[in-house]
Chains A and B, each alone.
Chain A
Amino acid sequence: MSKYTEDDLREELKTKEYEYGFYTDIESDKFPNGVNEDIVRAISKKKNEPEWMTEWRLEAFRVWEKMEEPEWANVHYKKPNFQDISYYSAPKKKPKLNSLDEVDPEMLATFEKLGISLLEQKRLANVAIDIVMDSVSVATTFKETLAEKGIIFMPISEAIQEHPELVRKYIGSVVPTTDNFYAALNSAVFSDGSFCYIPKGVRCPMELSTYFRINESGTGQFERTLVVADKGSYVSYLEGCTAPQRDENQLHAAVVELIALDDAEIKYSTVQNWFPGDAEGKGGVFNFVTKRGLCETNAKISWTQVETGSAVTWKYPSCILKGNNSVGEFYSIAVTNNFQQADTGTKMIHLGKNTKSTIISKGISAGKSQNSYRGLVQIGSRAENARNFSQCDSLLMGNECGAHTFPYIETKNKSAQIEHEATTSKIGEDQLFYCNQRGIDTEKAIALIVNGFSKEVLNKLPMEFAVEAQKLLEISLEGSVG
């Protein structure tokens, strides 16, 4: 029969090239490999940082040196040699641009390939983009519109120069330099990232967006993002990633800190599509990220993530619900295929009274991948009437992948109400035949089923992101049924 069989599908999937696997040839200013105090100082100097920042980095470095790489996650990989990584890489032709015409044409071509042409983006309006290409921001748009409202949205390196008091007050306040191995390393060597401040009572009129990209062979990326929403303000922040194909593993250890002051709300959405490695599990990005938000009284933080890329993902966007009546949300879709491994989830730390948290996690595993949800719901002794609802659903494709759930619950207050629901399902032959019979081929059927499965989370994404995310899910899983 000429039927498109599972084997054909599997074969096609293996040969499916990473869609964004290309490399832009832009001259880079690169440090020698390795990290020590001199390198940390050099990075700080390169950035023309004030003394306090240099000291902060050095402190982090000294802590990091004594730390061990964590091994508790349900992932297995060859540990990176941290002395074999270049800790600074910036495009040499760093332009100060007034218009797009001044942007390096090669860089524009890269954006075109990614489907995020600035021209397009500018016309689309409503999305201000701070593009990070190899650690240094090269273009910032819509700054003026934002400035009118007093909103600060700029590369963190610039913010350190222009708003040192804000950066100094908040950096490391949610993720301290001592927090964990990767966060400490990031604190020591971060090259750039984004800074965002929304003043009191201001509702940010547009979605703020940052596109990260790894672009230099053997260069790790250590992004640092700091978002501060002052009292009664609101901001929706979008982060999207895609990386070019590389043979050796690339390390990505970002830190994102969110601070929502009284009555403020932050929505932070991520679509992560780093190179996942090839069909044999070779190459791919190691994504070891620390993301955490702090909620003061009546504040709310929502994390929404669509994780389709990376060879190894280690990521737990968390909320510290410090203020009374504060709300934390975590909506996640994690897709793993081939040899990908993901250990992702969240921590909801309830400290204040009447705090509420919601966790919706959708794990989709295909190929020989391993997909783990790891979550902690912690209710402190003073957190009267804290409530949590968690739902963890796993969808399996084929017989060689794994789905795991590690929910931890710790409560020190008897008034807490905690609910946890979990399901595991498999895409069945019967479902596929039913779709086929209605004229829908197997590939499209899988996309349909997966999108249905992920719907509750996709619905939480801003419109323009939801479409992109849906496409990503399709690309990531094309023909992965077994």
Chain B
Amino acid sequence: MLKIENLHAQIEDKSILKGLNLEVKAGEIHAIMGPNGAGKSTLASVIAGKEEYEMTAGSMELNGEDISELAPEERAHAGVFLSFQYPVEIPGVTVTNFVKTSINESRKAQGLEDMPAKEMLQKIREKSELLEIDRKFLSRSLNEGFSGGEKKRNEIFQMAMLEPKLAILDETDSGLDIDALRIVSNGVNKLKSKDNAVIVITHYQRLLNYITPDFVHVLHDGKIVKTGDASLALELEAKGYDWIKEEVNG
């Protein structure tokens, strides 16, 4: 699915990713953990194609195709989805309208007609039930006045609607209370299939109690320094990150 080799990326001449390798196969869930400032969110932004980040070396392929030159919307059309750590507000644009536009723009890029209204409504109903979203919520302006939990739930709702091949969840657990965390995780698990993949970026192990990763990677100073299975997350939770740093430096 996703193959990243020797990825170097910088922002305003500040080097953040320094030779990162990552391979994610269809059907897998990968967790990327690491201390603050390790480059976790940068990795998410670089995969999604945020303009401010410059990729200076390495390669990035999605299903065998180089995506490093594609515009963010083209990557989205190719099946990349990013659940934002801080989703933005768009006043006056309802959740429904935004999702509809999003779906139809992707369909247009694939040469398809707009999704018929009936199908759209049905899908909205189905996915909002899955994420226990109140119908009233869908006619509110996108993220405007949403609580932290509502914003994150809305991100996962969009993911459910768009059915991406590769979903990157950037700190989706932050700002969620325990119930919301359960609902969101439940949603992600139900959306998971053998044909798609998920990258979970998180600082804490908490989310991984609900979404069980196949691999856990530790990101430190722009590189993946350790990879293990779900138990690595528990170890990190118990021991913190310092021992990893020492291991790397030592």
Contact = CB atoms under 8 A, between A and B. Distances in A.
A431 B82 CA distance: 14
B76 A454 contact: no
Given A440-B73, A440-B102, A3 B51 contact: yes
B87 interface: yes
Contacts of A455: 92
A204 to B, nearest CB: 31
Interface string A15-55: 00000000000000000000000000000000000000000
A448 B100 CA distance: 12
B105 A439 contact: yes
A439 B73 contact: yes
Interface in A431-458: 431, 433-442, 444, 448-449, 451-456
Interface string A254-269: 0000000000000000
A439 B109 contact: yes
A148 B78 CA distance: 60
Contacts of B71: 1-4, 436, 441
A80 interface: no
B93 A452 contact: yes
Contacts of B90: 431, 434-435, 448-449, 452
B35 interface: no
B158 A1 contact: no
Contacts of B49: 3, 436-437
A150 interface: no
A439 B88 contact: no
Contacts of B48: 437
B69 interface: yes
A448 B76 CA distance: 18
B27 interface: no
A452 B92 contact: yes
B98 interface: yes
A12 to B, nearest CB: 15
Consensus secondary structure, chain B interface: mixed
Nearest to B143: A434
Contacts of A1: 51, 69, 71
B193 interface: no
A430 interface: yes
B91 interface: yes
Contact of A433 (B50, B93, B97, B102): B50
B72 interface: yes
Most buried by A among B52, B69, B98: B98
B152 interface: no
B131 to A, nearest CB: 17
A47 to B, nearest CB: 46
A115 interface: no
Contacts of B11: none
Interface string A121-132: 000000000000
Contacts of A444: 101, 105
Interface in B35-76: 48-52, 69-73, 75-76
Contacts of A431: 88-90
A205 interface: no
Contacts of B205: none
A428 interface: yes
Given A2-B70, A3-B71, A448-B101, A438 B158 contact: yes
A394 to B, nearest CB: 13
B215 interface: no
Contacts of A439: 73, 76-77, 102-103, 105-106, 109, 162
Contacts of B82: 437
Interface string A445-478: 0001101111110000000000000000000000
Given A2-B70, A452-B141, A453-B92, A434 B87 contact: yes
B88 A428 contact: yes
A1 B46 CA distance: 13
Contacts of A452: 90-93, 141
A449 to B, nearest CB: 6
27 contacts: A433-B50, A433-B72, A436-B49, A437-B72, A437-B75, A437-B80, A437-B81, A437-B82, A437-B84, A438-B98, A439-B76, A439-B77, A439-B102, A439-B105, A439-B162, A440-B73, A440-B101, A440-B105, A448-B90, A448-B97, A448-B98, A448-B101, A449-B90, A451-B93, A452-B90, A453-B91, A455-B92
Interface of A: 1-4, 428-431, 433-442, 444, 448-449, 451-456
Given A429-B51, A433-B72, 12 more contacts: A3-B72, A428-B88, A431-B89, A434-B88, A436-B71, A436-B73, A438-B158, A439-B102, A439-B162, A444-B105, A449-B93, A452-B91
